[in-house]
Amino acid sequence: MKIDSGMLEDFARGAAFLGTGGGGDPYIGRLCCAHAIEQYGAPQLLALQDLPDEANVFSVAGMGAPTVLVEKLFSLEEAHLAVAKLEQFLGRRADAIIAAESGGINATLPVAYAAMRRLPVIDADGMGRAFPSIQMVSFNVYGVACTPMVIANEHGESVIVETDGALAAEQLGRTLVVQMGGSAMLSCYPMSGAEAKRTAVAATLSAAHGIGRAIAAGRSAGQPVAAVIEYLRSTTYYRHAYRLFDGKIVDVQRETTRGWVLGRCVLEALRGGGERLEIQFQNENLCAHRDGRLIATVPDLIVVVDRETAEPITTEGLRYGQRVCVLGVSAPPALRTPEALAVLGPQAFKLDHPFTPIETLSTTA
């Protein structure tokens, strides 16, 4: 299977959905992919199980605040500088490209870069969604070293980072990215094919395409929100999918600081009665409370979509008065283990509640 230009609109929309509010503007990622495919040809989408054990697998991703990416566009030249410097440092060349996350721009960027390098892109990633920090990936949770890591910017500057752990790499890398203008490209978690098969979350890029395609089909039938929920319930990872709230945005507080977009969004129920939903976010949506009661939390997905079109809305795109629907979706099982929750669960974000699966919260609502 190849990711061709005809798939890009659905793929980018599905990646925005899996971005759970973060990951950057999907339109930018789609344009980058379209240009790369037009210039270099469509890359192969390689199933994780078909990856040779001895393959050299390299990741490529953008790091920074999504609000910055709207104005400070990334380029494949920056991405290539990061990967090429890491290849040079390690003394081996990439055989395949993998996404760190399947949400937002960081799902589309690896596809565009794989096209440029004429390499396959693996149908997998490190989380099956998006997260704001580079240690919050299944690669790290299950034993792949984050470093050596290369961070590169649009001025041709690059830094090689070596640390004892992924959290230290995140802390040092975030400081560098802020100094580079709030966003930069990076390549980290270099691994073998065997390590990728052991630690990655499989079939997530194809899931993004499926989500986008379901939304498009639902629009034609006049029920896009129902259509995407039906599709999610047919999948392995995302089968616990719920319509949590229909409302109007009545307040948004948002700031770009320390390399992230931090804030909260408050919605009021459309049906009246004064019922309210509050979403807290750090690039991505972290938790949702309805009238003070927790109804969804990381690592499960909280997705805000337009109520009429099911178009995913990023945190930087939230606006007062928007009529939206909030969906809650189960995360892949690899993110729900005790080892994973220690790295990317509620306590990792200093939230004052434990993780409770969306299907349990929905049952007790």
Closest CA to 184 of 259, 275, 89: 259
- CB contact at 8 A, 233 and 304: no
pLDDT of residue 309: 97
Write the DSSP symbol of residue 5. G
pLDDT of residue 25: 73
DSSP assignment string, 156-203:
S-EEEE--SSHHHHHHHHHHHHHHTTSEEEEE---EEHHHHHHHSEET
Region 237-246: what's the mean pLDDT?
97
Q: Which residue has the tokens 């440029």?
A: 116
Please give the angle made by the CA atoms of 352, 168 and 68, to the nearest 5 degrees.
Answer: 75
Domains of the chain: 5-202 (3.40.1610.10), 240-363 (2.40.390.10)
Model confidence at 1, in pLDDT bands (50, 70, 90)?
confident
Closest CA to 290 of 326, 329, 337: 326
- Give tens-digit pLDDT for 80-132: 999 999 999 999 999 999 999 999 889 999 999 999 999 999 999 999 999 99
Model confidence at 24, in pLDDT bands (50, 70, 90)?
confident
Q: Which residue has the tokens 């390098």?
A: 117
Q: Which residue has the tokens 């990317």?
A: 344
Determine whether 351 is exposed, middle or buried from the number of CB atoms within 10 Å of its CB (0-12, 13-18, 19+). middle
- CB contact at 8 A, 111 and 43: yes
pLDDT of residue 66: 73
Residue 45's beta-bridge partner residues? 121
pLDDT of residue 282: 94
Closest CA to 7 of 233, 200, 216: 216
pLDDT of residue 65: 74
Region 272-284: what's the mean pLDDT?
93
